[in-house]
Structure 1
Amino acid sequence: MILTTILFTAIFLSGIYYLIRNLFNLKKAAELSKDALYPLTESEFAGIIIPHEWKQMEPLTKNTKSYRYVVWGTVAALVLLTALLVIVLTTNWIDSSYFSLAYLFFAIISSIRHRGNLFILPKGIVLNGKYFTYSQIKNYETEQIVRWHDLYGLDQKVNNAYKLTIRLKRNLFHSNFLVIGNSAQLEQICTLLNQKGVLCETNLSKQLGGNKNEYDRFN
């Protein structure tokens, strides 16, 4: 019982640390996004499609609904997690509700997420609400979403668009990708990344049927 309580206490404290750190990362990202090189115009924002929700990307400021949701959601989650931690430390509920408590804990943590985004900055990028310097980026990859692609058919906006995957160093468990609506926009993003020294590892040549001239546009 004591060992289990210690384990849950460590997990809960880690969750509280994650929520606070996530909020500070988002605050920094919102401040830095004002200096973005890309996207800038309404059409550029509209051409970046966020995975899973398949909605167009929105600006990141402290006044947006999504930002305020993370702020107030974090406060509510911290209060709830603290209450759960007190219950774990002062009652025997943990004995009969081990899996329910674990599920509730991870449900609370996963619910406080900002919508995905991508901002290319002079010295790094904001990716999904977190800032990364260019030295933290391993490479990126592009694929056209044509028939038989895993994403094809999930949403009309995704079909025949382009999947842009950005791989980060020391980040093995997260797939950081967005969908770019058209080839001209993808080319603009790739050009900026290449100028900043980010390497491209792409399967686009296969998607384009081996057309070397078309492939060279993205490298």
Structure 2
Amino acid sequence: MFDWFVHSFIILLYGFIVFVILFYRYQLKKSLERVESGEGISFYSVRRENDWKAVQPLSRKSKDYLIIHWCAIALPFLYAGILFIIFVFNILDTWFFIYGNFLLFHILPFLMRRFYFYLLNDGLIIHGVFYHWDKIERVEVEKITKWHPLYGLDKEINDGYRIVFFLNQKMNRKQTIVLVDEEEKNTIVDEIEKQEKSVLLKDHTDFRTYFV
């Protein structure tokens, strides 16, 4: 009975991971098609939140897109091999649980954190996923100056901006981007206000409580 429960749990866990990766690849591909059609306005001052380097434009040859593309192809075969080993050799070692948790809580968030941002007529592409304007609930714009949690992490983003998008959905209710150009920030804010969405501007005085 216990073995059956463990086997079922492993199948569901790995199946969920594969489904999420494949679904994200589908969303990224649909976003790419819209960008290639010339719909989107790109923002070249957006920075990746892991190394603060400039984000590559979304294209079929970009490194981030190829990572998702090949992972979506390879992961189902990898998981099929793991499940074959588990069931054929009846291996229920804790290593498989550690491996599964590592994939779920470390690899999966990494793969789904592609820092693309495009402004479209009917919505936004944030991290490769399209959100219609109806999904955007409100927006906060934070100036990255002294007292801000990101200030000092890299000189590239000092005096830049972090924009937080609050989404009207059950999961992933918040998405953020970091950019360093004021003109691009103003372009985003102007379009959001045209859509009659609430925009809150925060300066350094709003972040002093982080360090009290």
TM-score after normalising by structure 2: 0.85
Q: Deviating runs (4+, > 4 A) in structure 1?
A: 171-175
Worse-matched range after superposition: 174-183 or 142-151: 174-183
Q: 1:7 corresponds to which letter in structure 2?
A: F
Which residue is equivalent to 1:63? 61
Amino acid at match of 1:177: T
Q: Which structure 2 residue ranges, 5 or more long, are not aligned?
A: 207-212
Distance 2:102 2:203 in 1: 41
The aligned runs of 1:105-116 (5 Å cut-off) are: 105-106=103-104, 107-113=106-112, 115-116=114-115
Equivalent residue of 1:8, what SS? Answer: helix
Q: Structure 2 counterpart of 1:29, which letter?
A: S
Task: Give the partner amino acid of 1:26.
Answer: L
| Aligned residue runs from structure 1 range 27-176, under 5 A | 27-34=29-36, 35-39=38-42, 44-45=43-44, 47-106=45-104, 107-113=106-112, 115-171=114-170, 173=172, 175-176=174-175
How many residue pairs match? The answer is 202
Larger CA deviation: 120-129 vs 170-179 = 170-179
SS at the partner of 1:119?
strand
Displacement of 1:92 in angstroms is: 2.8
Kept after mapping to 2: 8 A contact 1:51/1:177: no
Give the 3 Å change call, closer, same or farther, for CA 126–96 of structure 1 in structure 2.
Answer: closer
Structure 1 residues 74 and 159: CA distance shift in structure 2, 3 A = same
Residues 1:201 and 2:200 aligned together? yes
**What is the identity, as a one-letter code, of the residue corresponding to 2:58?**
L
Residue type at the aligned position of 2:168: K
Distance in 2 (CA, whole Å) between partners of 1:154 and 1:163 is 13
What is the aligned-residue identity percentage? 19
Listed as ranges, the gaps of 5+ residues in structure 1 are 208-219
State the AA in 2 paired with 1:24. Y
CA distance in 1, matches of 2:28, 2:171: 21
Q: How far is 1:191 from its partner?
A: 0.3
